[in-house]
Chains A and B, each alone.
Chain A
Amino acid sequence: MDDRYDVIVVGAGPAGSTAARFAALGGARVLLLEKDREVGIPVRCAEGIGDEGLRSVLEPRERWIAARIDAAELVAPDGTRVRLSYPSAGYVLHRKIFDYDLAQMAAEAGVEVRTKAYVHGLLWEDGRVAGVRVLHLGEDRAIRAQIVIGADGVESRVGRWAGLNTVTSMHDMEACVQVTASRVEVEPNVCYFYFGKEVAPGGYAWVFPKGDGVANIGLGVSGDYSGRKKPIAYLRQFLAERFPKASILTWVAGGVPCAPTLKEIVADGVMLVGDAAHQANPISGGGIATALIAGKICGRVAAEAIRDGDVSKKRLAQYAKEWHKAEGKTHERFYRIKEGVYRLSDEDLNRTAHMLAQLPPEEITITRVFRTALFREPRLLLEVAKVFVG
């Protein structure tokens, strides 16, 4: 590790590794710092990704794929099931392998990667961010860079240190717990989504198969409700009622900001990307694809800014502009839909499901709207369905 780089990326999740790789491909000297011992571990994710989102940045590799998904099943509060089929909808990944490979691809592009490297502050010079302070192997080091990219996830602090307001409101934070379990009897190519105030208020529960009877089973509860009954209590109940035979292999907690993108994702010499910038899909909480898409733009713009010798907020705003062009509008629309869907009562959801369940399956799959809804935005489907049939 040298004392000076063009770009330092904090956090080696999908957003950080992708931003680092594209910055290096653009000719920048890049250092990628990850606090954990190993990239990709622990996995705080249900690991689902749509085919389209993945392919917009990467060609899928066989070793990343635990299961291929061609249908989603939505379960209403009263148990009514609505199945949507859509060939090649997406995948359940092995994120351990996926995240690791993304970091390796960054390394192959010339990025220097360091794990067990905890960034605990920024360096300042003449009122501008000039690098980071990092604890690495017992040593506290100051490392300089022209641009610091905060890809530090839900627990992001880089933005706050730089003076950006990155706090997630209680309403928009989804508090999640998940188990990976074996002996889960579900179809191997179907993702399941359960809705209802008793299941997961202000969120939903999921069952994503990973092959051989193993599945990720979890749920997210909006911060509006997580103080009364804890997500872990909801999950215990869900498992006892629906999957009593499941044998639990691992437990994880986690959070997803299901919020509008932050108003400001750049400052002088600073860029934020991924969960740190609140770029996850506000309806589904899916943030892998958007992290890849934003990471690619972020890295490329960082390299261009370095080349131009201008890392001012104004120059870096090109990244914000391109993000908003690529995903931002959709993101804002999804957020508004989320707000609408959250207001639906269990009765509304049941009624919607009853109406959908009566449609012939072909009709549910053919429309473009439903196709979009299928994998990426299950909640959108309900709202859209209400518009159509209500």
Chain B
Amino acid sequence: MNRIVIREGVCDLCGTCVGVCPVDCMELTETRLQIDADRCILCEMCVEICPVDALELCDGRSV
């Protein structure tokens, strides 16, 4: 299944993606960003807004 993957070490935990996610399926704690894959609609807004390119849509078939 397709899903959004977070590149550890690239993500700066800035929360910008959380602010644009239309379905509120992202969660940012002090130490990590998490995406609830069950609720994610794969709209890729988070991928587009991330200032440092820390997110990507992973095509499940190629994994």
User: A37 an interface residue at 8 Å Cβ cutoff?
Assistant: yes
Residues in B whose Cβ lies below 8 Å from that of A153 = 15
**Looking at the complex, which one of B22, B24, B48, B49 makes contact with A255 (CB distance below 8 Å)?**
B49
Residues in A whose Cβ lies below 8 Å from that of B4 = none
Please measure, in the bound complex, the distance between the C-alpha atom of A44 and the C-alpha atom of B12, giving whole angstroms.
10
CB pair B19 A231 closer than 8 Å = no
CB pair B52 A167 closer than 8 Å = no
CB pair B30 A116 closer than 8 Å = yes
A-B pairs with CB below 8 Å: how many? 90
CB pair B30 A170 closer than 8 Å = no
Residues in A whose Cβ lies below 8 Å from that of B30 = 35-37, 116, 118
Name the distance in Å between B30's Cβ and chain A's nearest Cβ.
5
Residues in A whose Cβ lies below 8 Å from that of B48 = 170, 223, 226-227
User: A173 an interface residue at 8 Å Cβ cutoff?
Assistant: yes
Instruction: Mark contacts of A254-266 with chain B using CB atoms, 8 A cut-off: 1 yes-contact digit, 0 otherwise.
Output: 1101000000000
CB pair A176 B51 closer than 8 Å = yes
Minimal Cβ-Cβ distance residue in A for B16: A255
Name the distance in Å between A256's Cβ and chain B's nearest Cβ.
9
Which of A59-67, A155-163, A317-325 forms contacts with chain B? A155-163
**Looking at the complex, which one of A155, A170, A221, A251 makes contact with B18 (CB distance below 8 Å)?**
A155
User: B53 an interface residue at 8 Å Cβ cutoff?
Assistant: yes
Residues in A whose Cβ lies below 8 Å from that of B27 = 120, 157
User: B29 an interface residue at 8 Å Cβ cutoff?
Assistant: yes
CB pair B24 A252 closer than 8 Å = no
Chain B contacts with A in 8-63, Cβ cutoff 8 A: 12, 14-16, 18-22, 24, 27-30, 45, 47-53
Instruction: Mark contacts of A19-42 with chain B using CB atoms, 8 A cut-off: 1 yes-contact digit, 0 otherwise.
Output: 000000000000000011100000
CB pair A252 B19 closer than 8 Å = no
Please measure, in the bound complex, the distance between the C-alpha atom of A257 and the C-alpha atom of B19, giving whole angstroms.
8
Name the distance in Å between A35's Cβ and chain B's nearest Cβ.
5
CB pair B29 A118 closer than 8 Å = yes
CB pair B50 A175 closer than 8 Å = yes
Please measure, in the bound complex, the distance between the C-alpha atom of A169 and the C-alpha atom of B45, giving whole angstroms.
9
CB pair A175 B49 closer than 8 Å = yes
Please measure, in the bound complex, the distance between the C-alpha atom of A120 and the C-alpha atom of B22, giving whole angstroms.
18
Please measure, in the bound complex, the distance between the C-alpha atom of A36 and the C-alpha atom of B51, giving whole angstroms.
21
Name the distance in Å between A162's Cβ and chain B's nearest Cβ.
12
User: A253 an interface residue at 8 Å Cβ cutoff?
Assistant: yes
Given contacts A35-B30, A168-B20, contact A226 B49 (CB under 8 A): yes
Name the distance in Å between A3's Cβ and chain B's nearest Cβ.
23
Please measure, in the bound complex, the distance between the C-alpha atom of A252 and the C-alpha atom of B13, giving whole angstroms.
9
Name the distance in Å between B16's Cβ and chain A's nearest Cβ.
3
Chain A contacts with B in 245-286, Cβ cutoff 8 A: 251-255, 257
Residues in A whose Cβ lies below 8 Å from that of B12 = 251-253
Residues in A whose Cβ lies below 8 Å from that of B16 = 154-155, 173, 175-176, 253-255
Please measure, in the bound complex, the distance between the C-alpha atom of A257 and the C-alpha atom of B51, giving whole angstroms.
14
**Looking at the complex, which one of A35, A155, A169, A253 makes contact with B51 (CB distance below 8 Å)?**
A253
Residues in A whose Cβ lies below 8 Å from that of B14 = 44, 154-155, 252-255
CB pair A170 B20 closer than 8 Å = yes
Name the distance in Å between B54's Cβ and chain A's nearest Cβ.
8
Given contacts A167-B22, A170-B45, contact A35 B29 (CB under 8 A): yes
Residues in A whose Cβ lies below 8 Å from that of B29 = 35, 118, 135
Given contacts A35-B29, A167-B21, A167-B22, contact A230 B15 (CB under 8 A): no
Give me 7 other A-B pairs in contact (C-beta within 8 A), A157-B24, A173-B16 excluded. Answer: A36-B30, A177-B51, A231-B51, A231-B52, A253-B14, A253-B52, A255-B16
A interface list, Cβ under 8 A from B? 35-37, 44, 116, 118, 120, 135, 153-157, 160, 167-170, 173, 175-177, 221, 223, 226-227, 230-232, 251-255, 257
